[in-house]
Amino acid sequence: MRGASAIEQVVGKLADKKLRVLVVWQPMLPTDWGKPTSGALARVSDSRAAQFWDPDHLVAREIVRDDPPASVLPKPNCCEDGGIYWDMAIIYPPNAVWTAKSPTPVYRNGAVYQVVSEVEAKLREFTK
């Protein structure tokens, strides 16, 4: 939950920037019994954000499957469990297109609340 609130703060600072935020909620902890409540969803209220529930980790599996090598993008500091990324901020370049293969991110790290400064800096770099 701290990650969602942290992202809301970052995008709030970038209110004049053109960006799109996808928040993927997925069950990772024993307490993640079902889709997020309206209270959880309210943590990211920016109109540029779309949120969805991914109970089968489909998005995370695709991202890990197409993970670039460490020579292209350093491995994240944390947040991988059983081959699934979670609590991760991932930034794709402007105009990135998802095809049969996910696009190569320009940034990927977590836990989200711990990397908000890096996320903000990278978003500023790509949304000048």
In tens, the pLDDT along 99-124 reads: 888 899 999 999 999 999 999 999 99
| pLDDT tens digits for range 35-65 | 998 999 999 999 999 999 999 999 999 888 8
Listed by start position, the domains of the chain span 2-126
At residue 98, does pLDDT exceed 90?
no
Give whole-number Cα distances, 56 to 13, 25, 52, 61, 62, in Å: 32, 10, 12, 9, 11
Mean pLDDT of the 77-87 span: 87
In this prediction, residues 15-25 reach a mean pLDDT of 91
